[in-house]
Structure 1
Amino acid sequence: MTTTAPQPGTRDSSQRLLDSAAALSYDPTTEVDWDTPLDPDHFGLNPEWSTLYGTDLWEEMTHAQRVTLTRHEVASIMSTGIWFEMILQQMVLRDQYCSDYAEPDFQFALTEIADECRHSIMFARACSTMGIGAYFPRRASIALGRGFKSLAAAEVAYGGILVAEEVLDVMQRDWMRGEQVLPIVRTTSRIHVVEESRHMKFARQEMRERIEGASPRRRRLSALVIAIAAQQIVSNMVNEGVYAAAGLDPQRAVAAARANEHHHTLMRSSCAHLMEFLDELGLLTRPALRIYQRVSMV
């Protein structure tokens, strides 16, 4: 990545984010109640966010199957979050390499990395507490992720970061209020929402700064790469293995999930603000839109 000296407005914004982090941050080891036994009737996420909610297959499932499915779905989403947080940390650290250490921009970037480390551990521990092992992205996506974390620069890197954070943010705002949702999921969602709100502001200010004055050709290329990154993130959020874990026929369940218009509508609504922002920066081109449509982001 090529770094640029932060502008006065960016410097002030980064200082406000630093102040916010100092005033409102959480330690998951003490904030989350890790020891209370899990209520067997509590879901892993609000049922409405399940990939099968609203389908004929959902109506056929027992309550126990629905609970198991949603717990595995949230564990898969958390696992995908860990995967991308590891990519994010490397991109931000590379971006800030040999930047001015006295600048708030540099200091908040490292604060964000520290937050992401805690979040990854928090998600990993939540999955372990639910008794669910790690879910991993597809092999091709893992390979693409290696390339993305090593090569993505400027607005492309921060665009990928923003996509991952925005999509998860809308989901978790709903889960943290869900009375039927496991307390550990509600609490970890609340922590993530509060701290990621700062990260999203930082990513947006970095994108605005990096894209300023960019040529139309660069905007088109950046738009395409960000869209491909978004496709990889969203398409890996729910691993197909979650259906077998709930005792379902995987082939039928995958087909039902892919055709589930209720879930597609939720995804589109969760991405509305993100799409508006990308459009504002000239990063919502026709080729990019086609990619977003494939994963129901628009």
Structure 2
Amino acid sequence: MPVSEIEPVQLDLGRLEQMAESGYYNPYTAFEWPDSIEADKPWMSESLTTLAGTEMWDELTREQQLALTRFEAVNFFSLNIHGIRELMSEVVMRIHERAYAGVSEFLHHFIGEENEHMWFFAQFCLRYGGKLYPAQPKLQAGSVDHLSPLARELIVFARVLIFEEIVDHYNAYMATDESLPHIAREINRVHHQDESRHVAFGRMVFVNLLGQVKRRDPDEIPLVAAYLESYLQYSIATLYNPAAYRDAGIPDALALRRRALEHPARKAAHDQVLKRTRRFLAKSGAGLGGPADR
């Protein structure tokens, strides 16, 4: 079933479109870019680093801790850039399809805003980090090739939504963290402001497509749920970049990554990051835990 055979996605997006228009800003003039950022300040909230809450963090020197916040900020923004590029390509392919004609106006806002987000994330990385980290390997486990085209379409938008919800968790926290340099807070604040609309839109599209799958082939829902749980775990794991550990002067980067991912404190932190998304998936009927809150 090609996209053209999907039932039209009809949503009331008037309020979101009005917010996008009234809240428009010019990203190319909105930020004041300092020549450099204070070396004695964290660039990422220390409680959000991938070693936070572990003895591995405590074993680092203060210089290594600050370096890790710098390189994990660059990694986080690099992940945003790669994620935005992927989701934009998916949206562009669908923006004028019959199934999405009713939401095409908002998708134009969406694409414009995401392009601007990609620009200012790259500006930060290149100005202050001197590089972008490469995109990480895509999720291989839990292939969706055996699912129907409609279920695969649902997964496309679910991946977009999961990416945005995880990113927004970090943005919202760092937007108000006074320990960060002003430019880092501002980038997180502006992105959080826009992503709140994108998350709302993504949830609406997800619910619509999920309803179509439930009506046509409800047996696929558990398979979709299993894939999405794998994607949640994959997305969290991309934050643990051994290249960032190496750049921060921390030895045995691959072994450290394995230790950190399995640490009880980090697993508890992952659950907090994913709590909102898992609750939404469960409530919508696409979570492994069923409709109850996790």
Task: Give the conservation status (yes or no) of the 8 Å contact 1:52–1:256.
Answer: no
Question: What is the distance in 1 between the residues matched to 2:72 and 2:159?
Answer: 22
Contact 1:55–1:256 (8 Å) recurs in 2 = no
Deviation at 1:143, TM superposition (A): 12
Same amino acid, percent of matched pairs = 24
Q: Could you tell me which of 253, 266, 270 is aligned with 1:267?
A: 270
- 1:245/1:284 CA distance change after superposition, 3 Å: same
Range 238-247 or range 227-236, more displaced: 227-236
1:233: how far off? 2.4
Q: Distance in 1 between matches of 2:141 and 2:230?
A: 13
User: Residue type of the partner of 2:192?
Assistant: V
Q: Secondary structure at the match of 2:266?
A: helix
Q: 2:260 aligns with which of 257, 262, 265?
A: 257
- 1:18 is displaced (CA, Å) by 0.8
Residue pair 1:50, 1:263 contacting (<8 A) in 2 also: no
User: How far 1:120 moved relative to its partner?
Assistant: 1.0
- Residue of structure 2 equivalent to 1:53: 52
Aligned match for 1:127, one of 125, 128, 153: 125
Deviation at 1:262, TM superposition (A): 2.9
- What SS does structure 2 have at the residue aligned with 1:61? coil
Asked if the contact 1:65–1:247 (Cα under 8 Å) also holds between the matched residues in 2, the reply is yes
Please give the per-residue CA displacement for 1:83-117, whole angstroms capped at 9, x wherever unaligned.
111111121122223338974x1110121111111
- The separation in 2 between residues aligned to 1:272 and 1:55, in whole angstroms, is 21
Query: SS state of the match for residue 98, structure 2?
Result: coil
Q: Please name the residue that 1:245 is paired with.
A: 247
Contact kept? 1:75, 1:132, Cα under 8 Å? no
- Kindly state the Cα deviation for residue 286 of structure 1 after the two structures are TM-superposed: 6.2
Separation in structure 2 between the aligned mates of residue 140 and residue 163 of structure 1, nearest angstrom: 15
CA distance in 2, matches of 1:201, 1:283: 17
Q: Which residue of 2 aligns with 1:285?
A: 288
Q: Which runs of 5+ in 2 are unaligned?
A: none
Q: Is the contact made by 2:142 and 2:230 (CA closer than 8 Å) also made in structure 1?
A: no
- In 1, distance between residues paired with 2:34 and 2:171? 22
Q: Assess if the C-alpha contact under 8 Å between 1:175 and 1:186 holds in 2.
A: yes
User: Are residues 1:228 and 2:230 paired?
Assistant: yes
How big is each residue's C-alpha offset from its partner over 1:256-280, in whole Å with a ceiling of 9 and x where there is no partner?
4224333332221121121111112
Partner of 1:185: 184
Give the alignment of 1:107-118 within 5 angstroms.
Answer: 107-118=105-116
User: Equivalences for 1:14-163 in 2 at 5 Å?
Assistant: 14-99=13-98, 103=102, 105-141=103-139, 153-163=152-162
Q: Tell me the CA shift for residue 237 of structure 1.
A: 2.4
Change in CA separation of 1:212 and 1:258 when aligned onto 2, cut-off 3 Å: closer
Q: Are the equivalent residues in 1 in contact too, given 2:282–2:289 (CA < 8 A)?
A: no
1:294 alignment counterpart: none
C-alpha distance in 2, partners of 1:232/1:251?
16
Alpha-carbon separation, structure 1, partners of 2:255 and 2:83: 29
Provide structure 1 residue ranges, at least 5 long, that are not aligned to the other structure.
288-297
Contact (CA 8 Å) 2:77, 2:121: kept in 1 or not? yes
CA contact (8 A) 2:117 2:191 kept: yes
- Whether the 8 Å CA contact 2:8–2:101 is kept in 1: the answer is no
1:135-162 deviation per Cα after TM superposition (whole angstroms, max 9, x unaligned) = 12434549999x9xxx884321111111
For 2:73 and 2:210, how far apart are their aligned partners in 1? 34
> Take 1:137 and 1:20, find their aligned partners in 2: how far apart are those partners?
32
Report which stretch shifted further, 153-162 or 135-144. Answer: 135-144
CA distance in 2, matches of 1:163, 1:6: 20
Flag the 1:142–1:275 CA change in 2: closer, same or farther, 3 A.
Answer: closer
Which residue is 1:198 aligned to? Answer: 197
Alignment match, 1:295? none
1:228–1:210 CA distance, 2 compared to 1 (3 A): same
Q: Which amino acid aligns with 1:121?
A: W
